[in-house]
C-alpha cells in the first residue's frame, strides 16, 4: 500500500488546467478548425467528416462549438464561438448541470469521447457537470448519432421527460446534420429538425476538448 501511495505522489497532477492558463497544445496530426483560404468558399463544419480540398487546411484549434447552426458555416477567417445562456438560465445551471446522454443511432465514436470527459484528465465534474441515468433527474440532454427512425420516438420522449427549463446539446456531425447519413431516409437530418438545440459541437468525432470548451462557454465559464 505504501508503494502505491508513493507512486501516486510521483505521478503528480494528471488533470489538465484548462480553461485556466494557456490552451492545451494538441498534436500536429490533430485536425482542428478548418482554415478557409478562399473567401468565396464556404465550409459547413456541421457536415464536415473528411479531409478538405487544397483550398482548405486544418488548424490546431479545437474551439469549434457554437450556439447557432448557421455559425458552423465558415467563410474566410471569421470565427464564431458558443455564447453563454441567458442570465436566468445561468442562475439555474451555472453551478450545477445534470445531463442525460442519448445515443440516437451513433457509431459510438462521439459517445466514447463524451466518456473521456469523466476521466481524471478532464474531470468534468469539477465544473459541476455530470451525466445522470434518468431524464427526470436531468437539466438537459446530450444527443449523438443521426437520430434514426427507430430512435426518434425514444429521443422525443426523453426530451419531454426532462423538466423545464432545459437545454439540448448536439454532439458530432451526425447529430448536427445527419453526417454521412444525411441523405438516408432513416436519418432525421439534424437534431434541430426535431427539438430546439442550444449548443452544436461539430466533429466526426469531436475532440473531448471541443466538447468541454463548448460546455464551458455555454455556462459562461469561458468568455474569450
pTM: 0.92
Nearest 5°: the CA angle 113, 115, 119 is: 105
Give the chain's domain count.
1
Residue 5 maps to a domain: no
Nearest 5°: the CA angle 41, 43, 48 is: 150
* CATH code, domain carrying 40: 3.40.50.12280
Q: Which of 20, 78, 44 is nearest to 224 (CA)?
A: 20
| Range(s) of the domain holding residue 93 | 19-224
Residue 124 maps to a domain: yes
Residue 158 maps to a domain: yes
Q: How far is Cα 204 from Cα 187, in angstroms, rounded to an integer? A: 16
Residue 146 maps to a domain: yes
Flag residues of the chain having pLDDT under 50: none
Residue 101 maps to a domain: yes
- For 125, residues 6+ apart whose C-beta sits below 8 A from its C-beta are 118
Q: What single string gives the DSSP state of each residue in 38-64?
A: -TT-EEETTT--S---TTEEE-S----
Percentage helix, strand, coil for the chain under 3-state DSSP, each rounded to 5? 30, 15, 50
Residue 152 maps to a domain: yes
Residue 153: CB atoms within 10 A of its CB come to 9
Residue 109 maps to a domain: yes
Q: What is the pLDDT of residue 199?
A: 98
Torsion over CA: 120, 162, 147, 150 (sign): positive
Q: What is the pLDDT of residue 51?
A: 60
Q: Which residue has the cell 436566468?
A: 88
Q: How far is Cα 66 from Cα 88, in angstroms, rounded to an integer? A: 20
Residue 102 maps to a domain: yes
Q: What is the pLDDT of residue 133?
A: 95
Are 93 and 111 a contacting pair, CB within 8 Å?
no
Percent of the chain at pLDDT exceeding 90: 71
Q: What is the pLDDT of residue 52?
A: 56
Q: Are strands 140-144 and 97-103 parallel, antiparallel or unpaired?
A: parallel
Q: Is 13 helix (H, G, I), strand (E, B) or coil?
A: coil
Q: What is the pLDDT of residue 23?
A: 79
Amino acid at each position: 500500500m505504501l508503494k502505491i501511495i508513493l507512486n501516486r505522489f510521483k505521478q503528480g497532477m494528471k488533470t489538465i488546467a484548462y480553461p485556466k492558463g494557456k490552451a492545451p497544445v494538441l498534436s500536429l496530426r490533430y485536425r482542428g478548425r478548418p482554415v478557409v483560404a478562399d473567401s468565396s468558399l464556404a465550409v459547413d463544419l456541421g457536415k464536415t467528416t473528411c479531409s478538405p480540398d487544397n483550398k482548405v487546411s486544418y488548424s490546431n484549434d479545437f474551439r469549434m462549438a457554437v450556439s447557432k447552426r448557421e455559425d458552423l458555416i465558415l467563410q474566410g477567417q471569421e470565427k464564431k464561438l458558443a455564447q453563454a445562456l441567458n442570465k436566468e438560465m445561468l442562475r439555474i445551471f451555472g453551478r450545477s448541470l445534470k445531463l442525460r446522454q442519448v445515443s440516437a443511432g451513433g457509431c459510438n465514436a462521439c459517445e466514447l469521447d463524451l466518456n473521456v470527459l469523466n476521466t481524471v484528465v478532464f474531470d468534468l465534474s469539477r465544473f459541476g457537470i455530470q451525466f445522470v441515468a434518468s431524464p427526470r433527474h436531468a437539466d438537459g440532454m446530450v444527443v449523438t448519432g443521426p437520430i434514426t427512425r427507430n430512435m426518434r420516438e425514444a429521443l422525443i420522449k426523453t426530451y419531454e421527460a426532462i423538466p423545464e427549463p432545459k437545454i439540448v446539446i448536439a454532439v458530432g456531425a451526425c447529430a448536427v446534420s445527419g453526417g454521412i447519413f444525411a441523405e438516408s431516409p432513416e436519418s432525421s437530418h439534424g437534431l434541430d429538425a426535431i427539438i430546439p438545440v442550444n449548443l452544436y459541437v461539430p466533429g466526426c468525432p469531436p475532440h473531448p476538448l471541443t466538447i468541454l470548451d463548448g460546455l464551458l462557454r455555454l455556462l459562461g465559464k469561458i468568455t474569450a
